[in-house]
Each structure stands twice: as structure tokens, then as C-alpha cells.
Amino acid sequence: MNQGTGACGLNCMVCGLMRQGKCSPCGAGTEPQAQAKLAAQLSLMGSVCPILQCAVNKKVDYCSASCEVYPCRHFMSGPYPLSSAYLEMQVRRRGQNKVVSTAQQSPGSGDKSRLH
């Protein structure tokens, strides 16, 4: 697809941080660029993006296109990159019958069908 698009689906090329040289694109979870980004995050911030780490571990290029459990807890419970309303629309349009939200469920409780 596009090396300027992160595994999460965001187009890094239009991000202000990228344009200011403060960040580099993550790339697809199946690309070497993603491994390099994780290493840089760990070195600079002491932690990594859970979405990118998951995509790399599962060998998923782009979460919304290739992951069977998208949107998962990384998206639904995390602070970024997308709003819960957008993710709930994704669940509805994909014909999935359960939505995981931070208000309804916390990780480690209840239905685990959307968690990985």
C-alpha cells in the first residue's frame, strides 16, 4: 500500500508532527520500517505504540484491512488514534454484534471476542 500509512490506518504524511520532522512514519506492520519505528520509540520514549507492536507481532499490514478482530481493545480503550464513535461505526458496518468500549467493559472482564 503506502509506506506513509501507519498500521493503525493513519496517513503519517499529513500529520503535523511528521511534517515538522518530529516523527517518522510507522509503515505497515509487515514492513521493516515498522520494526525500526518500534526500536526508535523504545529508545526515545521507553515504550512502544501498542497498536504497531500488535500489528508487527500478528504480521498484519494494516489493522482495519487485515486484522480479523479490528477494532480491538488497542483502539477502543487506547487514547488514540481514532474516536470511539468512529470505531463503533466500523463495528456496525462490518456486521459485528458487540462493541467494546471503556464505559461498557474493561480489559480482563466479560466478553473477550474483541480483545487480542
Bridge partners for 11 per DSSP:
5
Check whether residue 7 and residue 60 sit in a common domain: yes
Check whether residue 1 and residue 46 sit in a common domain: yes
Check whether residue 77 and residue 61 sit in a common domain: no
Check whether residue 79 and residue 109 sit in a common domain: yes
pLDDT at 1 over 60: no
Q: How far apart are CA 53 and CA 27, in angstroms?
A: 12
Residue 6: give the domain boundaries. 1-65
What is the value of pTM for the model shown? 0.72
Check whether residue 61 and residue 72 sit in a common domain: no
Q: How far apart are CA 26 and CA 110, in angstroms?
A: 32
Check whether residue 58 and residue 115 sit in a common domain: no
Residue-averaged pLDDT of the chain: 81
Check whether residue 102 and residue 49 sit in a common domain: no
Q: Which residue has the higher pLDDT, 107 or 56?
A: 56
End of a domain among 48, 65, 82? Answer: 65
Check whether residue 61 and residue 83 sit in a common domain: no
User: What pLDDT does 54 receive?
Assistant: 97
Q: How many domains does the chain have?
A: 2
Check whether residue 21 and residue 76 sit in a common domain: no
User: What pLDDT does 64 receive?
Assistant: 94
- Burial (CB < 10 A; 0-12, 13-18, 19+), residue 20, is exposed
